[in-house]
Amino acid sequence: MYDERKKEILRLLSTRGYMTVEELAQHLYISEPTIRRDLRNLDREGVIKRIHGGASYIGRDTYEWPFDMRTRVNLTEKRKITKVAADLIGDGDHIFLDAGSTCSFLSEVLDPSLRITIVNNCFPTIQKLSENTHFTLECPCGQYVPSHVGIFGEEAELFIRKRHADYYFASAAGVNARSGVTVRALVEMSVKRAMLENADCMVLLVDHSKMGVNNYYQCFEISEIDILITDAPLPEDLAETCYKKGVEVIIV
């Protein structure tokens, strides 16, 4: 019976990317305690990652979900977050936008009348932004990484370090009080750090599923965040750390 449930749980998670315990229990017609026990077992096997009341699919052979899968998870939350982020941008601003899935939604809600310059290293996002001729777009050269459908590496980092932005809109795979802002893939690190160090204001865009999560690679300290925009109250320890470090937290 467990093997059958395991296959169905993995099928659902591989399709949706992330599901809550309640959603899995409803789909499989079994109790939430049973789902939690199954998720603990699958987490130990390394094929899923338990995250705040649910789980995400990672598989045995990957360290990161494909970009397309990530853009299909928590859509409503990501759109709410990026609508607030878009209000920060004014005419004439220069923007760094990283290759995260949440940041990609910003391309859908920017004021189309703005004349702004955007540096982005994610092909689907650049393609969406290119539909507006008011925007000046720059994409660095470097190593193409299929799982991120974007450009990374030393050349991309050097390209960014020759530019300066008013805002850096960042994404992450996890945020917690102890480890700060973390990502799953080492390849992301140098570009994200270059964007941070060459921007006046770093705005972190993360939905509730990333809160309290700790991934392998630490990318930013909490103190390096200027504004954090999310869709749910922070865990108590993270909220306290953000307050002490002077991070402006916006809950949408």
The residue-averaged pLDDT of 6-31 equals 85
pLDDT at 68: 63
Confidence grade of residue 13 (pLDDT, cut at 50, 70, 90): confident
Segment 146-173 shows an average pLDDT of 94
Q: What is the pLDDT of residue 70?
A: 65
pLDDT for 80 equals 95
pLDDT band at 250 (very low <50, low <70, confident <90, very high): very high
The answer to whether the beta carbons of residues 36 and 54 sit under 8 Å apart is no
pLDDT band at 62 (very low <50, low <70, confident <90, very high): very low
pLDDT band at 175 (very low <50, low <70, confident <90, very high): very high
Look at the block and give the residue holding tokens 């750090």. 193
| pLDDT greater than 70 at residue 172 | yes
- Distance (Å, rounded) from C-alpha 11 to C-alpha 28? 12
Strands 136-138 and 165-170, bridge-based pairing: unpaired
**Average pLDDT for 191-208:** 97
Structure tokens, 223 = 């103190």
How many C-beta neighbours within 10 Å does residue 242 have? 19
Could you report the per-residue pLDDT of 65-103, keeping only the tens digit for each? 556 656 666 778 999 999 999 999 999 999 999 998 899
Task: Return the closest-CA partner of residue 232 out of 202, 211, 203, 204.
Answer: 211
| Tens digit of each residue's pLDDT (9 = 90 or more) over 123-148 | 999 999 999 999 999 999 999 988 78
Comparing CA positions, the residue from 226, 234, 221, 160 lying closest to residue 190 is: 160
| DSSP at 46 | T
Integer Cα distance of 4 and 17 in angstroms = 19
Alpha helices (H) in 116-197, listed in sequence order: 123-129, 154-161, 189-197
pLDDT at 119 over 90: yes
What is the enclosing helix (H) or strand (E) of 249? strand 248-251
Residue matched to tokens 């939690």: 36
pLDDT confidence of residue 189: 92
Smallest CA-to-CA distance from 77 within 235, 211, 175, 227 is with 211
**CA pair distance 113, 94, nearest whole angstrom:** 15
Does the pTM surpass 0.85? The reply is no
Average pLDDT estimate for 219-243: 96
Q: How far is CA 210 from CA 19, 27, 139, 143, 180, in A?
A: 13, 23, 27, 27, 11
Between 183 and 239, the more confident residue is: 239
First to last CA, the chain: 41
CB proximity list for 212: less than 8 A, separation 6 or greater: 52, 174, 175, 176, 235, 238
Cα gap 18→85, rounded to integer Å: 24
pLDDT at 168: 98
CB neighbours (10 Å) of residue 82?
22
Residue 61 confidence (pLDDT) above 50: no
What is residue 63's predicted lDDT score, i.e. its pLDDT? 44
